[in-house]
Protein backbone atom coordinates (compact mmCIF):
# COMPACT_ATOMS: atom_id res chain seq x y z
CA UNK A 1 0.00 0.00 0.00
CA UNK A 2 1.21 3.46 -0.89
CA UNK A 3 2.52 5.21 2.27
CA UNK A 4 0.12 8.15 1.79
CA UNK A 5 -2.82 5.81 1.47
CA UNK A 6 -1.61 3.91 4.55
CA UNK A 7 -1.69 7.17 6.54
CA UNK A 8 -5.22 7.89 5.34
CA UNK A 9 -6.36 4.38 6.28
CA UNK A 10 -4.73 4.68 9.70
CA UNK A 11 -6.82 7.80 10.39
CA UNK A 12 -10.06 6.07 9.42
CA UNK A 13 -9.65 2.78 11.29
CA UNK A 14 -12.31 1.88 13.83
CA UNK A 15 -11.40 -0.64 16.51
CA UNK A 16 -14.35 -2.96 17.03
CA UNK A 17 -12.89 -5.27 19.63
CA UNK A 18 -9.60 -6.17 21.32
CA UNK A 19 -8.33 -9.47 22.74
CA UNK A 20 -6.41 -12.65 22.13
CA UNK A 21 -6.74 -14.27 18.75
CA UNK A 22 -8.91 -17.16 20.03
CA UNK A 23 -11.23 -14.64 21.71
CA UNK A 24 -11.70 -12.84 18.40
CA UNK A 25 -12.09 -15.84 16.06
CA UNK A 26 -13.32 -18.95 17.88
CA UNK A 27 -16.98 -19.76 17.23
CA UNK A 28 -17.24 -16.70 14.96
CA UNK A 29 -15.27 -17.68 11.88
CA UNK A 30 -14.74 -20.91 9.99
CA UNK A 31 -11.49 -19.69 8.40
CA UNK A 32 -8.57 -17.54 9.48
CA UNK A 33 -6.25 -16.41 6.69
CA UNK A 34 -2.83 -15.31 7.99
CA UNK A 35 -0.52 -13.04 6.01
CA UNK A 36 2.67 -14.89 6.98
CA UNK A 37 5.33 -12.29 6.22
CA UNK A 38 3.39 -9.53 7.91
CA UNK A 39 2.78 -11.52 11.07
CA UNK A 40 6.21 -13.10 11.43
CA UNK A 41 8.12 -9.94 10.53
CA UNK A 42 10.52 -9.20 13.34
CA UNK A 43 10.08 -12.48 15.20
CA UNK A 44 13.35 -14.09 16.23
CA UNK A 45 12.07 -17.56 15.41
CA UNK A 46 9.20 -17.70 12.89
CA UNK A 47 9.27 -21.51 12.92
CA UNK A 48 8.60 -21.53 16.68
CA UNK A 49 5.63 -19.26 16.01
CA UNK A 50 4.29 -21.78 13.48
CA UNK A 51 4.83 -24.61 15.96
CA UNK A 52 2.76 -22.68 18.50
CA UNK A 53 -0.04 -22.27 15.95
CA UNK A 54 0.10 -26.02 15.28
CA UNK A 55 -0.20 -26.72 19.02
CA UNK A 56 -3.07 -24.23 19.38
CA UNK A 57 -4.92 -26.06 16.61
CA UNK A 58 -4.12 -29.52 18.01
CA UNK A 59 -5.39 -28.62 21.46
CA UNK A 60 -8.51 -26.88 20.12
CA UNK A 61 -7.37 -23.54 21.49
CA UNK A 62 -7.67 -22.07 17.99
CA UNK A 63 -10.73 -23.45 16.20
CA UNK A 64 -11.09 -21.96 12.72
CA UNK A 65 -9.28 -23.61 9.84
CA UNK A 66 -6.05 -21.64 9.52
CA UNK A 67 -4.49 -20.98 6.12
CA UNK A 68 -1.20 -19.09 5.81
CA UNK A 69 -0.66 -16.97 2.71
CA UNK A 70 2.93 -16.72 1.52
CA UNK A 71 4.36 -13.97 -0.70
CA UNK A 72 5.62 -15.61 -3.87
CA UNK A 73 5.41 -12.88 -6.52
CA UNK A 74 9.06 -11.75 -6.66
CA UNK A 75 12.35 -13.65 -6.86
CA UNK A 76 13.34 -12.52 -3.34
CA UNK A 77 10.03 -13.87 -2.00
CA UNK A 78 10.46 -17.22 -3.72
CA UNK A 79 13.72 -18.00 -1.94
CA UNK A 80 12.15 -17.41 1.49
CA UNK A 81 8.94 -19.17 0.47
CA UNK A 82 10.77 -22.44 -0.21
CA UNK A 83 11.91 -22.64 3.41
CA UNK A 84 8.46 -21.69 4.70
CA UNK A 85 6.74 -24.28 2.53
CA UNK A 86 9.06 -26.93 3.96
CA UNK A 87 8.07 -25.86 7.48
CA UNK A 88 4.36 -25.94 6.64
CA UNK A 89 4.66 -29.45 5.25
CA UNK A 90 6.61 -30.66 8.30
CA UNK A 91 4.04 -29.13 10.67
CA UNK A 92 0.99 -30.13 8.64
CA UNK A 93 -0.23 -26.53 8.30
CA UNK A 94 -2.29 -25.28 5.35
CA UNK A 95 -0.83 -22.62 3.09
CA UNK A 96 -1.24 -20.98 -0.29
CA UNK A 97 1.15 -19.00 -2.42
CA UNK A 98 0.35 -15.43 -3.47
CA UNK A 99 1.91 -15.39 -6.90
CA UNK A 100 0.17 -12.48 -8.65
CA UNK A 101 -0.52 -10.03 -5.84
CA UNK A 102 0.57 -9.17 -2.30
CA UNK A 103 -0.16 -11.90 0.26
CA UNK A 104 -2.48 -9.69 2.33
CA UNK A 105 -4.65 -8.92 -0.72
CA UNK A 106 -4.65 -12.57 -1.81
CA UNK A 107 -5.69 -13.55 1.73
CA UNK A 108 -8.61 -11.09 1.65
CA UNK A 109 -9.79 -12.23 -1.79
CA UNK A 110 -9.63 -15.87 -0.72
CA UNK A 111 -11.48 -14.99 2.47
CA UNK A 112 -14.30 -13.41 0.46
CA UNK A 113 -14.69 -16.65 -1.50
CA UNK A 114 -14.86 -18.81 1.62
CA UNK A 115 -17.35 -16.94 3.82
CA UNK A 116 -17.19 -16.71 7.63
CA UNK A 117 -13.55 -15.82 7.20
CA UNK A 118 -11.23 -13.12 8.49
CA UNK A 119 -7.67 -12.05 7.70
CA UNK A 120 -4.89 -11.53 10.24
CA UNK A 121 -2.34 -9.01 8.95
CA UNK A 122 -0.36 -5.99 10.09
CA UNK A 123 -1.17 -4.24 6.81
CA UNK A 124 -4.38 -2.35 6.04
CA UNK A 125 -4.58 -3.77 2.50
CA UNK A 126 -7.21 -6.43 3.39
CA UNK A 127 -9.61 -3.55 4.13
CA UNK A 128 -9.44 -2.55 0.46
CA UNK A 129 -11.14 -5.88 -0.30
CA UNK A 130 -13.24 -6.68 2.78
CA UNK A 131 -14.94 -4.79 5.61
CA UNK A 132 -13.09 -6.13 8.65
CA UNK A 133 -9.85 -7.77 9.64
CA UNK A 134 -7.73 -8.60 12.66
CA UNK A 135 -4.55 -6.69 13.25
CA UNK A 136 -1.94 -7.53 15.85
CA UNK A 137 -1.10 -4.86 18.35
CA UNK A 138 1.74 -6.91 19.79
CA UNK A 139 3.03 -10.31 18.76
CA UNK A 140 5.73 -12.26 20.48
CA UNK A 141 6.51 -15.95 20.42
CA UNK A 142 4.52 -16.25 23.68
CA UNK A 143 1.53 -13.86 23.39
CA UNK A 144 -0.71 -12.20 20.85
CA UNK A 145 -2.71 -9.08 21.55
CA UNK A 146 -4.96 -8.22 18.62
CA UNK A 147 -7.69 -5.88 17.58
CA UNK A 148 -10.54 -6.45 15.19
CA UNK A 149 -10.83 -3.39 12.99
CA UNK A 150 -12.99 -1.99 10.25
CA UNK A 151 -12.69 1.12 8.09
CA UNK A 152 -14.96 4.13 8.41
CA UNK A 153 -15.91 4.51 4.75
CA UNK A 154 -17.21 8.07 5.16
CA UNK A 155 -13.90 9.13 6.74
CA UNK A 156 -11.98 7.36 3.98
CA UNK A 157 -14.08 8.99 1.27
CA UNK A 158 -13.54 12.45 2.79
CA UNK A 159 -9.75 12.00 2.96
CA UNK A 160 -9.59 10.62 -0.57
CA UNK A 161 -11.61 13.62 -1.86
CA UNK A 162 -9.16 15.99 -0.14
CA UNK A 163 -6.23 14.07 -1.62
CA UNK A 164 -7.65 14.32 -5.14
CA UNK A 165 -8.33 18.08 -4.92
Architecture of domain 17-149: 3-Layer(aba) Sandwich (3.40)
Q: Among 162, 161, 138, 121, which Cα is nearest to 13's?
A: 121
Q: What is the pTM of this model?
A: 0.91
Give the residue extent of every domain in the chain.
17-149
Tens of pLDDT, residues 57-107 = 999 999 999 999 999 876 666 777 888 999 999 999 999 999 889 999 999
Q: Are 120 and 146 in contact, with CB atoms under 8 Å apart?
A: yes
Amino acid sequence: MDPRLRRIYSRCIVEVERGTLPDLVNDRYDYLMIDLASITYGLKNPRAFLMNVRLALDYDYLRPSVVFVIDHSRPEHKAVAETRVKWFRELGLDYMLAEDEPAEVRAARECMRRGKCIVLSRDYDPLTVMDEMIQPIKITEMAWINRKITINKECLSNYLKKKNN
